[in-house]
Copies of this chain bind each other. A is one copy, B any other.
Amino acid sequence: MQQRYRAMFINSLSGFKSANLVGTVNSDGVENLAIVSSVFHIGADPALMGMITRPQTVRRDTVNNIKHSGFYTLNQVSEQMVHAAHQCSARYDAEVSEFAETGLTPSYVSGFSAPFVAQSCLKIGLQVEEIQLLEINQTELIIGKVVLVQTDEMAIEPDGSIDIEKLGSVAISGLDRYHTTKKLTRLTYAKPDSWPEELTFSKD
């Protein structure tokens, strides 16, 4: 396979992915935003999230800022933000802020150094715990501990789960496809002796 065809094909294999903007700031105070589709859950207690850095999706600025400051934000991308979020993958110079270039608004929480994206409906503040080099292809696995979450309370169900569809969050497939979602079902905890059933709380 030719290189670009191969990248398109292989990037499609992993299925639907989350869309997040990583917010960081460098030692000169220059804010940076990068779009990532490789954020994943590592554990609930302690609350840990991982992401894989790749030259195409996470700018070296982001990694350098995380290493230097120890803090970063993840801002879930909603339908209204898709074009601006995608534009953050352009190779701007290090001294350029993607906030200024894309019209997204930085917002800060007292005592937390990294910038959030005001337009995002689910904002997460993380403290870096570990950065592991994956020798196999020289990408890096960044593991962060969740220290702060901001979202709309109306999206939090009585059991603690967040209905991210209510927030307008989008899914990514491949390198450049954005999708809205429609809830198919929510299923009861699976047990060997019964078949899963529809689980409902609210009137959705």
Q: A residues within 8 Å of B by Cβ?
A: 1, 3-20, 37-50, 52, 54, 74, 76, 79, 82-83, 86-93, 96, 101, 122, 124, 129-130, 132, 134, 136-137, 139, 141, 143, 146, 149, 156-157, 159-165, 169-171, 173-192, 195-196, 199
Which residue on chain B has the smallest CB distance to residue A15? B18
- For A45, list chain B residues within 8 Å (CB): 3, 6-7, 10
17 contacts between A and B (CB under 8 A): A6-B45, A6-B160, A14-B18, A15-B122, A40-B40, A41-B52, A42-B52, A79-B184, A86-B187, A91-B192, A132-B132, A163-B177, A164-B174, A176-B188, A176-B189, A177-B186, A181-B182
A185 CB to nearest B CB, Å: 5
A8 touches B160 (CB 8 A): yes
A14→B13 CA distance, assembly (Å): 19
A186→B86 CA distance, assembly (Å): 10
List the 3 closest A-B pairs by CB distance, nearest first.
A15-B18, A5-B160, A8-B160
B40 touches A14 (CB 8 A): yes
B13 touches A169 (CB 8 A): no
- For A122, list chain B residues within 8 Å (CB): 13, 15
A contact patch SS? mixed
A185→B77 CA distance, assembly (Å): 14
Given A17-B17, A130-B136: 7 more A-B contacts, CB < 8 Å: A8-B159, A12-B162, A43-B54, A83-B195, A162-B174, A176-B199, A178-B187
A103 CB to nearest B CB, Å: 10
Known contacts A136-B48, A171-B171, A186-B177, A19 near B15 by CB under 8 Å? yes
